[in-house]
C-alpha cells in the first residue's frame, strides 16, 4: 500500500507523528527549554513574538505557552504546511535569501531555531540583519546554533553544511556576528557530549522510537557528570541597538591590518 500524499494525510495522524518525533528528540526539547529560560526573563505581556526555522512545530507551540502573541516563519513549503496544521494558524515562509516576510519593527522578540545559521558568513549576516529589521527598539533576539569546538573528540562530531561550510560558531565568532546590531546579553551552551553522540548515532530515519527514548535517557544521565563542560549547541540572546556597518580597521596611510602583516612577512 502506498502512502497517501502529504496533503491528504489525516491531520490527527500528522500531529501524532510530530508529537512522537518531538518527544523522542531530546536535543530539540533541550533547545526549546533553553529558549524558554531566556523568555522567562522577558516581560511578554502584550509582546509580539516571532519564531523562525524550528525543525518541529511542537517547539513553536511550546514557546506560545510562555505568553505573548506569536507568529511563525519556516524555511520550506512542507514545514509551512505542517506548522499550520499543528498551530491552527497561518504560517509564512522565509524567502530564498533569508528574507523575513514581515514589515519593519513589528516584533518585540525574535527566536531563531538551530539550523537556520548555516555557517556561510554572508547568508548568516543577512539573516541577522533581517532579524534586526523586523525587531522593535529595544527588541530581543534569541539565536540557536551549533557550537563549534576545535579539538579532541568534538572535531569528529563536527558537521558541514551541504554547501561545504563548517557548521556552527565559536562564542567569539557568534559575538562578532551579532555585535553590529545587538548588545549581546549572554551566550550559553547545552546538549553535552553524550546526548550529542546519541544524536549522531540516531540521525538516520526509521529508528525504533522506544530505542531512541532509551538511548537518549541513558545519554542524559551520563551528561549529568559533564555539567561543567561546554555543550554542542549554543544559544545567544541580545537586545537590539542601532545597526553599525562593519568596517575593516585601517592603519595610517589607508592600509588594512592584513596588508601590513602580509608586507612585513614578505608575502
Domain tally for the chain?
A: 1
**According to the model, what pLDDT value does residue 11 have?**
62
| Of residues 249 and 83, more confidently modeled | 83
**According to the model, what pLDDT value does residue 134 have?**
97
| Residues 220-232, mean pLDDT to the nearest whole number | 91
**According to the model, what pLDDT value does residue 153 have?**
59
pTM score: 0.82
Could you give the CA distance from residue 60 to residue 52 in angstroms, rounded to a whole number?
9
| Domain CATH code at residue 195 | 3.40.50.150
Could you give the CA distance from residue 201 to residue 198 in angstroms, rounded to a whole number?
5
pLDDT over 80 at 163, yes or no: no
| Integer angstrom CA distances of residue 1 from 4, 7, 38 | 9, 17, 46
Helix (H) or strand (E) holding 261: helix 257-265
Percent of the chain with pLDDT over 90: 54
Q: Is residue 220 part of a domain?
A: yes
**According to the model, what pLDDT value does residue 255 have?**
56
| Integer angstrom CA distances of residue 241 from 17, 85, 102, 134, 140 | 41, 36, 19, 12, 10
Length of the chain: 267
Q: Is residue 211 part of a domain?
A: yes
Confidence of residue 159 (pLDDT cuts 50, 70, 90): low
Angle at CA 140, nearest 5°, toward 134 and 145?
A: 90
Q: Which domain holds residue 47?
A: 6-265
**According to the model, what pLDDT value does residue 98 have?**
85
| Residues 123-135, mean pLDDT to the nearest whole number | 94
Q: Is residue 183 part of a domain?
A: yes
Q: Is residue 175 part of a domain?
A: yes
**According to the model, what pLDDT value does residue 118 have?**
75
**According to the model, what pLDDT value does residue 24 have?**
80
Confidence of residue 162 (pLDDT cuts 50, 70, 90): very low
pLDDT over 50 at 156, yes or no: yes
The mean pLDDT of the chain is 83
Q: Is residue 1 part of a domain?
A: no
Could you give the CA distance from residue 20 to residue 150 in angstroms, rounded to a whole number?
34
**According to the model, what pLDDT value does residue 1 have?**
36
- Most confident listed range (12-26, 95-109, 164-178): 95-109
pLDDT digits (tens, 9 = 90+) for 62-99: 999 999 999 999 988 988 988 998 899 999 999 988 89
pLDDT over 80 at 155, yes or no: no
Amino acid at each position: 500500500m502506498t502512502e497517501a500524499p502529504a496533503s491528504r494525510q489525516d491531520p490527527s495522524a500528522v500531529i501524532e507523528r510530530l508529537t512522537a518525533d518531538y518527544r523522542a528528540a531530546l536535543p530539540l526539547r533541550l533547545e526549546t527549554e533553553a529558549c524558554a529560560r531566556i523568555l522567562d526573563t522577558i516581560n511578554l505581556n502584550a509582546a509580539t513574538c516571532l519564531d523562525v526555522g524550528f525543525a518541529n512545530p511542537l517547539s513553536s507551540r511550546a514557546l506560545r505557552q510562555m505568553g505573548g502573541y506569536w507568529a511563525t516563519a519556516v524555511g520550506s513549503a512542507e514545514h509551512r504546511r505542517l506548522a499550520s496544521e499543528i498551530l491552527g494558524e497561518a504560517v509564512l515562509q522565509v524567502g530564498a535569501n533569508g528574507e523575513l516576510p514581515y514589515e519593519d519593527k513589528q516584533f518585540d522578540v525574535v527566536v531563531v531555531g538551530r539550523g537556520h545559521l548555516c555557517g556561510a558568513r554572508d547568508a548568516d549576516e543577512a539573516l541577522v540583519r533581517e532579524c534586526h529589521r523586523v525587531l522593535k527598539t529595544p527588541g530581543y533576539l534569541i539565536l540557536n546554533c551549533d557550537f563549534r569546538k576545535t579539538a579532541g573528540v568534538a572535531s569528529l562530531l563536527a558537521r558541514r553544511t551541504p554547501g561545504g561550510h563548517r557548521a556552527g560558531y565559536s562564542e567569539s565568532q557568534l559575538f562578532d556576528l551579532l555585535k553590529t546590531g545587538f548588545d549581546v546579553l549572554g551566550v550559553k551552551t547545552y546538549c553535552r557530549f553524550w546526548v550529542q553522540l546519541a544524536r549522531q548515532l540516531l540521525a538516520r530515519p526509521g529508528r525504533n522510537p522506544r530505542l531512541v527514548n532509551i538511548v537518549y535517557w541513558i545519554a542524559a544521565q551520563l551528561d549529568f557528570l559533564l555539567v561543567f563542560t561546554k555543550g554542542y549547541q549554543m544559544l545567544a540572546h541580545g537586545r537590539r541597538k542601532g545597526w553599525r556597518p562593519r568596517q575593516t580597521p585601517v592603519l595610517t596611510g589607508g592600509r588594512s591590518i592584513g596588508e601590513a602583516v602580509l608586507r612585513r612577512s614578505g608575502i
